[in-house]
Structures are given as C-alpha cells and as structure tokens.
Amino acid sequence: EMFVKNLATISREKSKDKMNVNYKDLAEVVNSDDVLQFLQDIIPRKIKAREYLEKLEDEDEDSS
C-alpha cells in the first residue's frame, strides 16, 4: 500500500495536472528513477505502433 501511495505521490508531483495521475506520468517516473527500474517492463513508455515495428525491424537486421 505504501509503495503504491508513494509512486502515485511522486507521479502527481511531476505531473502537469496536480489533481490527476495518468499513465504517462507513471511511465515517466518509472523510466527516470533507477530505484523503480524493475517496473519498466510493466509500465513502459507508450510508443506508436510504427515506432515499435521499426524497432523490431532494426533488431532483426542486427541479429542477421
């Protein structure tokens, strides 16, 4: 409980809208704090499908 409360508080403080926390706020906090690095797979930054497909293509080219 305290962990979730702390994560929400930090996200709210860094948010433009101090009354609400959205996914983007959480993802930014998780990806910018080394202590929260273990959450990066669960709360990644959102990317567009096009960017994801390009990333997959680049990885395929690198592994070939």
Backbone angles phi, psi at 46, to 5 degrees: -75, 140
| Alpha-helical segments (H) within the chain | 2-14, 23-32, 49-63
CB 11 within 8 A of CB 29: yes
How far is Cα 14 from Cα 17, in angstroms, rounded to an integer? 9
Tell me if the pTM is above 0.75: no
Tens digits of residue pLDDT in 45-56: 999 999 999 999
Query: Is 80 exceeded by the pLDDT of residue 64?
Result: no
Q: What is the pLDDT of residue 19?
A: 87
Residue-range domains of the chain with CATH: 2-63 (1.10.20)
